[in-house]
Structure 1
């Protein structure tokens, strides 16, 4: 640090912002949402591209309505993505079944034909990976996308998926196996499959930085 430069104020943590928001500080609430907006947008972009704006709004509205029920026993980020997962589940349950039969460990986004992802893929391997992710059972897709794109810890993934933390590694392992199977079915050639699988983590993480394509206004 150059001499005589005074360090700026440290960024407030999610919990500090949440406490301030609960106390009536709307600025803190806005900052909390702005901090996580891109991640929540990315969460829906490869799962329900035509409804991203509406699902983001539903997620943050549910967070507002439930903010006093959050006790801080898990990270706020894990709590927020858990809300987003439940919003997504309700959306697809209502879209197809209109009852409680929708099972995110069986049904995939691909089953619903949601249209192209809003994530831009400039490499064939990235496009292949996006397609394969959408063919996984929804909770397995969520697991891998949060693991690769949001660098979520085991405890955060457990919160989002509502499973014991000790089962998270097994969930990730199973999701990777299903992903490799989907990639094998979609790849146009053995060399394309090999180049994708050989650097699976690199291709997956590279998608995180891709710009989001905004849907055309109706």
Structure 2
């Protein structure tokens, strides 16, 4: 089976079948990316991201991490969408404002497990940049360097902000937990949350 870089090279050489295979491989990561941001508009945002991916293929370095590159496109699509949708969003600092700030009200994400629901709710309370950091690093298992490329900042800054984001996530869980037992069980198993949330989003 060809890896992503080999498929990209083939696609750039005119192999449309390789292109379709590569897009299919990235689809789930893009779906996860938008599922916790604006689920109602997610289909359109996913489509925009994939269109921009196709348009950017001739410019993509052949040695790039394709998933990181695609998620970088998704980030730009998301920010453009938020700025166009919400009044004065163009002036909002995404390092400080969360999805919940821009979309007040109960989350539309349905989760079967109380822990998963709590984690998703807490994640949406984070400043958007912090939410992106946590998802890219823990969900998509990208390296610090790859996350740095997506966010356009030094790797050292990414690692510092990731530690802060993790701390903010724990604080949000503490605020939202309905009981001491739920709080304890969630924080104790926080390192296993990514796989559970990924599976929940896949089945939703």
Give the structure-1-normalised TM-score.
0.86
Moved more, 64-73 or 192-201: 64-73
Pick which of 146-155 and 203-212 moved more.
203-212
Compute the displacement of 1:147 (Å): 1.8
Asked if 2 retains the 8 angstrom alpha-carbon contact of 1:49 and 1:116, the reply is: no
Partner of 1:87: 77
* Partner-residue secondary structure (3-state), 1:210: helix
Aligned-partner SS, 2:90: coil
Q: 1:116 aligns with which of 107, 119, 125?
A: 107
* C-alpha separation in 2, matches of 1:25 and 1:15: 13
User: Is this contact kept in 1: 2:5–2:64, CA < 8 A?
Assistant: no
Corresponding residue for residue 71 of structure 1? 61
Corresponding residue for residue 7 of structure 1? none
Could you say which residue in structure 2 is the equivalent of 1:147?
137
How far does residue 54 in structure 1 lie from its aligned partner after superposition?
Answer: 0.4
Rounded Cα–Cα distance in structure 1 between residues aligned with 2:197 and 2:90: 33
Q: Alpha-carbon deviation of 1:32?
A: 0.4
Which residue in the other structure is 1:188 paired with? 178
1:207 to 184, 191, 197: 197
Aligned-partner Cα distance in 1 for 2:33–2:108: 11
Q: Give 1:32's match in structure 2, choosing from 1, 18, 22.
A: 22
Kept in 1, the 8 Å contact 2:8–2:62? The answer is no
Gaps of 5+ in 2: none
State whether residues 82 and 89 of structure 2, in contact with CA within 8 Å, keep that contact through their aligned partners in structure 1: no
Contact 2:9 2:62 in 1 (8 A): no
Matched pairs, number: 203
TM normalised by structure 2 equals: 0.91
Q: Distance in 2 between matches of 1:98 and 1:72?
A: 38
Alignment partner of 2:92 out of 95, 102, 124? 102
Q: Deviations over 1:74-94 (max 9, x none)?
A: 411111100001101111111
What is the Cα-based RMSD across aligned positions, in Å?
Answer: 1.9
In structure 1, what is the equivalent of residue 161 of structure 2? 171
Which contiguous aligned blocks of 4+ residues in structure 1 show a shift greater than 4 angstroms?
A: none
C-alpha distance in structure 2 between counterparts of 1:25 and 1:53, whole Å: 26
Matches of 1:71 and 1:85 in 2, distance apart?
Answer: 19
Structure number with greater Rg is 1
Rounded Cα–Cα distance in structure 2 between residues aligned with 1:154 and 1:25? 32
Structure 1: runs of 5+ lacking an equivalent: 1-10
Higher helix share: 2
29-38 vs 18-27, greater mean Cα deviation = 18-27
